[in-house]
Amino acid sequence: MKWSYPRISVYWHDKEKKMKRFLVLALICGATATSALAVSTFTPTVTDLQGFGVLAAYTTDPDLNPLGLDVYTSPDPTWDTATFTGNVGYQLDDVGKASGGVIPVEYVAIGTTGANLSSYDSYALRLFNDNNQDWDYRLFATDGVNTATSPWVNVGSGGDAVSLSVDLSGLTLTNVTFGFLVGNTTGADTIHTTASPIPVPSAVLLGGMGAGLVGWIRRRKMM
């Protein structure tokens, strides 16, 4: 009489080997995708965002608070309702003027200068409106001669958010000024805006696969 236990053991051993190969291949594919996306799209880090300031050369609003921009790494709980990880908040008085149109005539540019973005073909950022009125936002990047912008987007009050991106093709990317513009069409007010980096989707996927692989290996060891 022949027993089938060895066949079962071989079957499960073969299945385990196939599962390991699949997970390793998935991790490699995820790492490759992460690398490709990370190279093509630039999203500022929290440190980058903390270094943002008012860019006078790109600001059209002449009536800003002379005390300047307030940058806070622990957003004001009175205004900040955003839960996105890595928030950096900005507050500035007397921004925006009524225009009667669909985009602000006067606005403030918040950002930084002198960046080398030669490894990237786009720039992306997530913005939260933590104010009690609507604000209009757009991203911009310029090499001093050519400028790339996203469309103006209206973001509602009370923590509404938008993810914006700009195509950097056509710019000389070794010395770039970039950031975001903010204004409104209903009169001057104090902005309370929060900016956050945008995670690379494949990085999130890669992290999830890695955690799943570790958990699966641990379960196998316990069996």
- Residues 200-216: tens digit of each pLDDT: 654 334 444 444 444 44
CA–CA distances in Å: residue 153 to residues 117, 128, 165, 213: 24, 12, 12, 41
pLDDT score for 100:
73
Predicted model pTM:
0.73
pLDDT score for 146:
97
State how far Cα 43 lies from the chain centre: 5
The answer, yes or no, to whether residue 150 has pLDDT greater than 60, is yes
Q: Which two tokens stand for residue 72?
A: 């806070």
pLDDT score for 208:
43
pLDDT score for 62:
87
Q: Which residues pair with 71 in a beta bridge?
A: 90
pLDDT score for 12:
47
pLDDT score for 199:
80
Per DSSP, the three-state class of 8 is helix
107 or 32, which is more confident: 107
Alpha carbon distance 57, 60 (integer Å): 8
Alpha carbon distance 213, 26 (integer Å): 10
Alpha carbon distance 24, 28 (integer Å): 6
List the one residue out of 191, 147, 180 whose CA is nearest residue 44: 180
Q: What's the average model confidence in pLDDT over 99-109?
A: 86
The answer, yes or no, to whether residue 162 has pLDDT greater than 60, is yes
Count CB atoms within 10 A of the CB of residue 152.
Answer: 16
Instruction: HSE, CB side, 13 Å, CA atoms: give it for residue 98.
Output: 3
Q: Which residues pair with 70 in a beta bridge?
A: 91
Q: What's the average model confidence in pLDDT over 15-37?
A: 51
Q: What confidence tens digit (pLDDT) does each residue in 170-181 have?
A: 999 999 999 999
pLDDT score for 88:
92
pLDDT score for 76:
57
Domain ranges, ordered by start, for the chain: 5-39+203-222, 44-198
81 phi/psi in degrees, rounded to 5: -105, 5
What contacts 29, CB < 8 A, 6 or more positions away? none
Q: What confidence tens digit (pLDDT) does each residue in 53-88 have?
A: 999 999 999 888 877 899 988 665 555 555 555 689
Per DSSP, the three-state class of 148 is strand
The answer, yes or no, to whether residue 151 has pLDDT greater than 90, is yes
Q: Determine the topology of domain 44-198 in CATH.
A: Jelly Rolls (2.60.120)
Q: What confidence tens digit (pLDDT) does each residue in 27-45 have?
A: 444 444 444 444 599 999 9
Contact 157, 132 (CB under 8 A): yes
